Structure 1
Amino acid sequence: MAKAEATVEELVGMIERGELRLPEMQRQYVWQSTRVRDLIDSLYRGYPSGAILLWETDEAVPLREFGVSQQASPYQTTRLLLDGQQRLTSLSAVIRGEPVKVRHRKKPIDLLFNLEHPDELAFVTEVDEEADIDDDAPEQGEEDASEDELMARLNKRAFVVATKKLELLPNWVRVSDVFKSQGDTALLKAAGVSSMDDPRLEKYSARLARLRGVRRYVYRMDVLERTLGYDEVTEIFVRVNSLGAKLRSSDLALAQITAKWRNSLATFLAFQKACADKGFDLDLGIHLKNLVAFATGQSRFQTVAGLSLATLQAAWIDSVRGMEFALNFIRSNVGITSPALLSSPFILIALAFFGAKRDYNLTPEEAAKLRFWTLVSNLKGRFSRGSSETLLDQDLASLRQKGGVSEMIERLRLQVGRLDVTPEELEGRNQRSAIFKTMFLAFNDAGAKDWRSNLRISLDHWGTSHRLQFHHIFPKAVLKAADYSARDADDIANLSFISGKTNRQISDKSPDQYLQAFVQNAGQSAFDAQCIPTDHDLLRISSYREFLRERRKRVADRLNQFVEVGTHGQ
């Protein structure tokens, strides 16, 4: 294995010119903007940033697209990036000022640089590399801090993910603008430096030069020999990433599958996009796990290495039919129209396998029971209690052994106990609870509408005014002033679904001040649909605990009616 070195600027140029490509075995780009922020911060400090693993080959290797644009490669020899994709894609996007492409969408990586950062830089907490870029979160502490506290915290940092407020401040400049600019004049002028006598001139110029110096950061590269074959390189890729725990098991499985089934990635991505077009943008790993389930009857990726090409190809065809059934069933029969309403996508795999085992021929009774199993599994978080794969494998094993939906319901009962929901079960739950997702479904089924526009609540409303938000009936600020904790405020019984504009209109008013006006506008039924007590005495801050108890009773009743617990047993 040869050793080499290249600067960030040289590597970004190789990507842009198409000299450095991604093999089909690679995962998609997944880093959050906060992770890119931390990478730039580390390079700005001159910290180590690992090595790059390449393979130079004359072999015609199946490729996948980088997350950033590339020119067609004029070279016969291909340089393939095996390790370092997330770092180099991030650097290429920031330095070139281009968005990254993730799941058929383009997303900008907007970072700001603080020209007034302290000499002693504040450390930031790195986020999980496995987090998906679609899950970008606000800067740490942003939700709970006051504006002054947040600004004090951000001003200690050199880099942050861009916000509209910070962009307006003169000491914050776009990182991509620094890399693209030929000089400092425009940047310094925008920062308020208007003369050579300004004491900030030297400091700001030195910091801008230091940031541009990131382009000269040198990466060590390990280059695999040309004599190696694709299968052996795939084995190296799997071993390197397994030892470093840098990739998920689904990413390693993808490498093994594409090594046997060349050019299959395009097939997988096409189906992933077809599902996304129907409203279910699922991680590719779910489709691969579904493939493995249909190939082996169990869900663990460890078996992939032993599967033949013929087995993989046949199982993929069957798994696609199964997933199509699952998505149609969950949308039409259950009312779940988005993966955001699923407590676990493993529910879809169980549904797909069930449909296939029944040859997609269900009796009305089976369909009703399958809806019940789906809703209770979602409500109770079946695949969040213990090992998700073990629980899924139990369902798959039962279906392989000719078990039916009644056996699945009984297994669920053994796992969670009662299949109905009690008011006590809602205590201490918040918006991250599986119950919260089913609460939305139940309220929607009851005809819940926004209190101002009277639009039916939906996850896909257009426009910031109508986009759905969850609303604290007793606002956080009101509860904080009354010495309630953040946990008390986020209680699931204090949450409802309204539009962004309605939420902003309410602001931090107490419900005894704002609710009756909305009742007069929207009608009592709008509040009954979301199980919200409107008795004035319960809407006083002094009655908050009593309000929560009353609403928990109503929500539990509504959930049980929606799931139809009485029809299929308790």
Structure 2
Amino acid sequence: MARAEATVEELVSMIEHGKLRLPEMQRRYVWRAPRVRDLLDSLYRGYPSGAILLWESSEDVPLQEFSVGQKANPFQSTLLLLDGQQRLTSLSAVIRGEPVKVRGRQRPIDILFNLEHPDELSVVTEVNEDGDDFDDELDDDEDGDSSEDELMARFNQMAFVVATRKLEQLPHWVRVTDVFKTQSDRDFLKKAGVTSLDDPRAEKYAKRLARLRAIRRYVYRMDVLESSMSYDEVTEIFVRVNSLGAKLRSSDLALAQITAMWRNSLEKFQAFQKRCADDDFDLDLGIFLKAMVAFATGQSRFKTVGSISLERLQEGWSRSCEGMEFALNFLRSNVGIRSPVLLSSPFILIVLAYYGHQRSYKLKEEEADRLRYWTLVANAKGRFSRGSSESILDQDLASISQGAGVAALIDRLRLQFGRLDITPEELEGRNQRSALFKSMFLAFHEAGAVDWQSRLKIAIDHKGSQHRLQFHHIFPKKVLREAGLRPREINDIANLAFVSGKTNRKISDRAPAEYLPKYIADAGEAVFTAQAIPTAPELLEVSAYQDFLKTRREMLAVRLNAFFGS
């Protein structure tokens, strides 16, 4: 294995001119803008950023496209990128000013740089290449009741932020891509109000802009595998290196092994993934691979991938696609779940797919009703979110393959959780990360809940910042903080409701005793009954907050149990 070095600028150029390519075994680009911001922040500080692993190959290796544009490379000999894709794709997009292609959609990566950041950069951000990200379809009101001054004070402590229109208009915030595109500081200084070189800010800003541009000269160490190695050998190295370093998930390593056995299969996998995404179920590729393994072997663990024959893999893939189509249709039509964001675990899909397959996709009415009940309870209780999720999934798959019906699946839920109905006590201490929060949305949606102003039925796919759904603190965070309550109490699931962004911003930090009566007078009680919100005046005072939570938990439990059925 040879060792070499290259600057960021050189590596970006290699990507642009097609001299650096991605082998089929690589996972897709998954970083979101905050991760890119953190990478730039680390490089700006001069922190280490790991090594790059390459393979110099003249073999005809199956390739996939980078998420940024590349020119055709007329030479057969190519350097293949095995480790470092997330970092180099991100840097290429920012330095070249190009959007990245993620799951078929073009997305800009727009990061702003703060010319007035503190001299001492105290917020340390760790950047690595693990984990997967996807778009949140339900907004938090994280800063909904924070004042503009509080937000600006927070931003002004940072060197880099993901761009917003308001920040971009401020004089001391500049687009990182614009800085990389020119060596001149004139326009940036002019925007910041620096009109003379005698201005003390001129030298400070110029040094900071130079330091930012110096990211292009950051040197990465490159480990280069020899061209004499075969695709299978390189795949084995890729799997071992990433297994030892715990950089990639098991699905990413399984993909490398599968594509080594089944050449050009990635295109098939991604085509089906895109079909599901086009139908509003944008799922990680690893879920489809796990379904394939389940259909091929009757169990879900990727550790068996290396011993599965190519014929079984191909047959498993074909059957799993049919099963997943059934599962997605069942979720949409029978359960009312129309987006993966409302699932506590995508493993539920694999169980539904496998069950439908074992029943030859012929279910009786009562059986379908019971399967709906199992789906809702498994989702609300978080069946695959506790303990060893793969072991639990394998238990369900084993029951189904042995001919057991839905009753056996429900019995397994009862063994895991005891009682299957929702109690008020079970809601205590839960927050928006709880599986029950997703179930609340489903129950409210079925009850006809609407936004308190627009009267649009709550939905996670509304367009536009005014109508995009957010979860709202009925008692605003600022009000409760001033009353001395802890974050755990403030973010209690019983203090959350679903409204549009516009409604959330209009309410801001007003107490419910002030704003709720006006909405009740305008919209009526039914709007709040649909979201199981108590409206008795005595419960809307801050001093009665604990009583409000207790009352709403009781109402929520009744609503959820009615929604699940029996």
- What is the TM-score with the length of structure 2 in the denominator? 0.95
Specify the alignment match of 2:111 in structure 1: 111
Counterpart check, 1:469 vs 2:470: yes
Specify the alignment match of 1:438 in structure 2: 439
Q: Deviations over 1:341-361 (max 9, x none)?
A: 111100000110111111111
Specify the alignment match of 1:502 in structure 2: 503
Q: CA deviation at 1:115?
A: 2.1
Say which SS state the counterpart of residue 75 (structure 2) adopts: coil
Letter in 1 for 2:540: L
Say which SS state the counterpart of residue 224 (structure 2) adopts: strand
Q: Deviations over 1:458-494 (max 9, x none)?
A: 1112222222111222222222232222222211111
In structure 2, C-alpha distance between the alignment counterparts of 1:212 and 1:339, rounded to whole Å? 40
CA separation of 1:355 and 1:151: change in aligned 2, threshold 3 A: same
In structure 2, C-alpha distance between the alignment counterparts of 1:117 and 1:504, rounded to whole Å? 28
In structure 2, C-alpha distance between the alignment counterparts of 1:315 and 1:430, rounded to whole Å? 39
Count residues with an aligned counterpart. Answer: 564
Tell whether the 8 Å contact from 1:35 to 1:126 is kept in structure 2 after alignment: no
When structure 1 is superposed on structure 2, of 417-426 and 168-177 the one drifting more is 168-177
Q: CA deviation at 1:126?
A: 2.5
Tell whether the 8 Å contact from 2:145 to 2:478 is kept in structure 1 after alignment: no
Structure 1 segment 318-467 matched on structure 2, within 5 A: 318-467=319-468
Specify the alignment match of 1:556 in structure 2: 557
Q: CA deviation at 1:152?
A: 4.1
Tell whether the 8 Å contact from 1:55 to 1:79 is kept in structure 2 after alignment: yes
Counterpart check, 1:85 vs 2:79: no
When structure 1 is superposed on structure 2, of 244-253 and 38-47 the one drifting more is 38-47
CA separation of 1:457 and 1:128: change in aligned 2, threshold 3 A: farther
CA separation of 1:87 and 1:420: change in aligned 2, threshold 3 A: same
Specify the alignment match of 1:228 in structure 2: 229
Q: CA deviation at 1:145?
A: 6.9
Tell whether the 8 Å contact from 1:31 to 1:130 is kept in structure 2 after alignment: no
Tell whether the 8 Å contact from 1:53 to 1:82 is kept in structure 2 after alignment: yes
CA separation of 1:42 and 1:481: change in aligned 2, threshold 3 A: closer
Q: CA deviation at 1:147?
A: 4.9
Specify the alignment match of 1:124 in structure 2: 124
In structure 1, C-alpha distance between the alignment counterparts of 2:382 and 2:128, rounded to whole Å? 23
Letter in 2 for 1:479: L
Tell whether the 8 Å contact from 2:293 to 2:302 is kept in structure 1 after alignment: yes
Specify the alignment match of 1:17 in structure 2: 17
Structure 1 segment 157-196 matched on structure 2, within 5 A: 157-196=158-197
In structure 2, C-alpha distance between the alignment counterparts of 1:261 and 1:84, rounded to whole Å? 24
Q: CA deviation at 1:388?
A: 0.8
Specify the alignment match of 2:288 in structure 1: 287
Q: CA deviation at 1:134?
A: 3.0
CA separation of 1:251 and 1:158: change in aligned 2, threshold 3 A: same
Structure ranking higher on relative contact order (CA contacts 8 Å, 6+ apart): 2
Specify the alignment match of 1:251 in structure 2: 252
Q: CA deviation at 1:97?
A: 1.3
Structure 1 segment 133-172 matched on structure 2, within 5 A: 133-135=133-135, 147-148=148-149, 150-172=151-173
When structure 1 is superposed on structure 2, of 292-301 and 201-210 the one drifting more is 201-210
Specify the alignment match of 2:512 in structure 1: 511
CA separation of 1:143 and 1:526: change in aligned 2, threshold 3 A: closer
Say which SS state the counterpart of residue 134 (structure 1) adopts: coil
Tell whether the 8 Å contact from 1:473 to 1:496 is kept in structure 2 after alignment: yes
Say which SS state the counterpart of residue 80 (structure 1) adopts: strand
In structure 2, C-alpha distance between the alignment counterparts of 1:44 and 1:461, rounded to whole Å? 38
CA separation of 1:459 and 1:145: change in aligned 2, threshold 3 A: closer
Counterpart check, 1:60 vs 2:60: yes
In structure 2, C-alpha distance between the alignment counterparts of 1:445 and 1:332, rounded to whole Å? 13
When structure 1 is superposed on structure 2, of 159-168 and 467-476 the one drifting more is 159-168
Can you give the 5+ residue segments of structure 2 that lack an aligned partner in the other structure?
A: none
Say which SS state the counterpart of residue 542 (structure 1) adopts: helix
Tell whether the 8 Å contact from 1:38 to 1:124 is kept in structure 2 after alignment: no
Specify the alignment match of 1:528 in structure 2: 529
CA separation of 1:523 and 1:121: change in aligned 2, threshold 3 A: closer
Q: Deviations over 1:241-292 (max 9, x none)?
A: 1111111100000000011111111111111111111111001111111111
Q: CA deviation at 1:153?
A: 4.5
In structure 1, C-alpha distance between the alignment counterparts of 2:46 and 2:455, rounded to whole Å? 55
Tell whether the 8 Å contact from 1:273 to 1:281 is kept in structure 2 after alignment: yes
Tell whether the 8 Å contact from 2:6 to 2:219 is kept in structure 1 after alignment: yes
Specify the alignment match of 2:279 in structure 1: 278
CA RMSD of aligned residues (A): 2.0
Can you give the 5+ residue segments of structure 1 that lack an aligned partner in the other structure?
A: 566-570
Tell whether the 8 Å contact from 1:54 to 1:81 is kept in structure 2 after alignment: yes
Tell whether the 8 Å contact from 1:21 to 1:79 is kept in structure 2 after alignment: yes
Q: Deviations over 1:440-462 (max 9, x none)?
A: 11111111112222221111122
